[in-house]
C-alpha cells in the first residue's frame, strides 16, 4: 500500500531545506545589516511576500481553497507570535552574550526535542517507540554536526537561556499545530508582520542605522523563502503528520546550511559531517516506515478545513458544480460518527487518545 505520509514528509524536508539555507545566505548580508534589523527584514519579507501571494491567489467562486481564520484561532496565533516570534529571539539574544558560539549551536538542536515532549505531555500527541528513535537519531546527528572539537564548551546561565529559547519555540510549534487546519498563508503572514514590526521598532529604539535599500530588499526576499514559504510548508506538513514527526524531519535543516556554506565559503567539513549524515538518513527512514494502525473512533464533529472527497472521512455531498477541478475546497462540514481501522498519523482527523 502506498505510504500516504510521503507527500507531507517531502513538504517538511523542503521546509527544512529552505530554512537551512537561510543561515549561510544571511551571513552574506550580516556585513551590511545589523542582526536585529536582519531579523526584522527576514520576518517582514515573509509577511509581506505571503500577503501579496495570498492577494493574487485565484479563488474558486464557490469555495475558497483554505479555511479562513476565526475568532477562536486568534488566541493560538497571538500566543505563537508572542512566544516564538518575540520572546524566544529576545531570550536568545541576551543568552548569546554569555554563551560560547559552539555551545549555543549545539543547544539550539534542542528545539525538536522540546517540540516533541510538549506535543506528547501537554497536547497528548501519539508518539511511539519508532518516532522517539527517529527524534533521537536526528537530534544526535544534529549535535554531531554542530560539535566544535576545539574544546570550547561551557554550561552557564547563558546556556540555560538558549535552552529556554528552544522551549519557547517548541511551544510556538505546538500552538501553531492547533491552527494548522486553517490557511497557512494567513497564519504566517500575521506572524511575519507582527514579529517583523516588533524587531523593527526595537532596532529603531536601539538606534541601528538603516542599510542601503538593495540589502533590505535582498534580506526580505530571503525572508520570503526561508521564513515564509518554509513555515507554510511546515504547517501543511504538520496538519498531516503532527508536531513531533514534522519537527523531527525539520531537524535535517543544518545539513542544508552546511552544504551551502561549503559552496559559498569553501568551508572544509570534518569527519563528523560524514558520520552524522547516515545517522540522520536512518532517522528519516524510521519516520517513513512508520505504520500506526488500530481500531479508532471518530465522534460527530463540525469544522472547516481544506479537504477533498478521496478518503473515508468526508462523505458529505455536493452538487457537481460546487467542487473545483482540483478536488480541494474548504467549507464548514460535518463528520459522521464512525469506527474504523486504517494507517494514520496525528493529523487533524486523528488526535484521539491512545
Q: Is 342 in a helix, a strand, or coil?
A: strand
Is 353 a domain residue? Answer: no
How do beta strands 329-335 and 301-307 pair? antiparallel
What local confidence, expressed as pLDDT, does residue 120 receive? 82
What local confidence, expressed as pLDDT, does residue 63 receive? 45
The residue to which cell 487518545 is assigned = 353
Question: Does 195 share its domain with 100?
Answer: yes
What local confidence, expressed as pLDDT, does residue 254 receive? 65
Q: Is 213 in a helix, a strand, or coil?
A: helix
Q: Would you list the DSSP string of 127-148?
A: --HHHHHHHHHHHHHHHHHH--
What local confidence, expressed as pLDDT, does residue 280 receive? 72
Question: Does 113 share its domain with 143?
Answer: yes
What local confidence, expressed as pLDDT, does residue 60 receive? 45
What local confidence, expressed as pLDDT, does residue 16 receive? 85
State how far the alpha carbon of 201 is from the alpha carbons of 97, 207, 219, 249, in Å. 21, 10, 17, 34
What local confidence, expressed as pLDDT, does residue 331 receive? 61
Last residue of a domain, one of 294, 310, 332: 294
Question: Does 317 share its domain with 216?
Answer: no
CA dist 64 and 170 (Å) reads: 31
Question: Does 205 share its domain with 126?
Answer: yes
Is 349 a domain residue? Answer: no
Question: Does 89 share its domain with 218?
Answer: yes
Question: Does 59 share its domain with 170?
Answer: yes
Is 354 a domain residue? Answer: no
Question: Does 60 share its domain with 84?
Answer: yes
Domain that holds residue 74: 6-294
Question: Does 177 share its domain with 42?
Answer: yes
Per-residue pLDDT in tens (0 to 9) along the chain, 354 residues: 345 678 888 998 899 889 878 877 887 887 788 887 888 899 899 999 999 988 876 554 444 567 788 888 999 999 999 898 888 877 876 776 666 554 555 566 677 778 888 888 888 777 777 777 877 887 777 677 656 555 554 446 777 787 788 889 889 989 988 888 888 889 999 999 999 999 899 889 989 899 999 999 999 999 999 889 998 999 889 888 887 778 778 877 767 776 776 777 665 556 766 777 788 778 767 766 656 555 656 566 665 656 566 665 556 566 555 566 556 656 666 666 666 554 545 655 555 455
Enumerate the H helices of 207-270 as residue ranges.
213-223, 230-241, 243-250, 253-265
State how far the alpha carbon of 112 is from the alpha carbons of 56, 136, 143, 329, in Å. 34, 10, 12, 32
Radius of gyration of the chain (CA): 21
Question: Does 191 share its domain with 180?
Answer: yes
Question: Does 179 share its domain with 144?
Answer: yes
Question: Does 255 share its domain with 302?
Answer: no
Question: Does 184 share its domain with 313?
Answer: no
pTM assigned to the model: 0.74
Is 351 a domain residue? Answer: no
What local confidence, expressed as pLDDT, does residue 239 receive? 83
* Total domains present in the chain: 2
Amino acid at each position: 500500500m502506498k505510504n500516504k505520509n510521503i507527500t507531507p514528509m517531502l513538504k517538511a524536508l523542503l521546509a527544512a531545506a529552505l530554512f537551512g539555507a537561510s543561515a549561510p545566505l544571511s551571513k552574506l548580508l550580516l556585513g551590511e545589516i545589523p542582526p536585529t534589523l536582519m531579523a526584522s527584514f527576514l520576518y517582514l519579507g515573509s509577511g509581506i511576500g505571503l500577503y501579496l501571494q495570498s492577494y493574487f491567489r485565484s479563488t474558486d467562486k464557490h469555495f475558497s481553497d483554505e479555511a479562513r481564520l476565526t475568532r477562536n484561532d486568534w488566541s493560538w496565533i497571538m500566543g505563537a507570535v508572542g512566544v516564538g516570534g518575540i520572546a524566544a529571539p529576545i531570550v536568545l539574544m541576551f543568552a548569546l552574550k554569555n554563551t560560547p558560539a559552539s555551545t549555543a549551536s549545539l543547544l539550539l538542536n534542542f528545539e525538536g526535542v522540546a517540540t516533541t515532549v510538549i506535543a506528547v505531555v501537554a497536547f497528548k500527541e501519539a508518539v511511539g517507540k519508532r518516532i522517539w528513535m527517529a527524534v533521537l537519531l536526528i537530534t544526535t546527528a544534529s549535535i554531531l554536526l554542530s560539535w566544535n572539537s576545539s574544546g570550547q564548551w561551557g554550561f552557564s546561565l547563558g546556556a540555560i537561556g538558549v535552552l529556554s529559547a528552544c522551549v519557547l519555540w517548541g511551544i510556538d510549534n505546538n500552538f501553531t499545530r492547533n491552527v494548522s487546519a486553517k490557511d497557512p498563508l494567513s497564519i504566517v503572514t500575521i506572524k511575519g508582520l507582527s514579529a517583523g514590526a516588533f524587531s523593527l521598532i526595537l532596532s529603531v529604539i536601539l538606534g541601528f542605522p538603516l542599510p542601503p535599500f538593495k540589502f533590505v530588499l535582498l534580506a526580505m526576499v530571503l525572508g520570503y523563502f526561508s521564513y515564509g514559504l518554509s513555515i507554510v510548508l511546515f504547517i501543511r506538513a504538520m496538519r498531516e503528520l503532527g508536531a513531533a514527526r514534522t519537527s523531527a524531519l525539520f531537524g535535517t535543516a543544518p545539513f542544508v546550511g552546511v552544504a551551502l556554506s561549503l559552496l559559498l565559503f569553501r568551508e572544509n567539513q570534518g569527519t563528523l559531517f560524514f558520520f552524522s549524515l547516515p545517522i540522520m538518513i536512518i532517522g528519516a527512514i524510521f519516520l517513513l516506515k512508520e505504520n500506526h494502525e488500530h481500531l479508532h473512533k471518530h465522534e460527530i464533529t463540525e469544522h472547516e478545513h481544506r479537504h477533498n472527497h478521496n478518503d473515508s472521512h468526508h462523505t458529505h455531498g455536493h452538487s457537481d458544480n460546487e467542487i473545483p477541478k482540483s478536488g480541494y475546497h474548504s467549507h464548514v462540514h460535518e463528520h459522521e460518527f464512525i469506527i474504523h481501522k486504517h494507517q494514520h498519523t496525528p493529523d487533524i482527523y486523528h488526535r484521539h487518545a491512545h
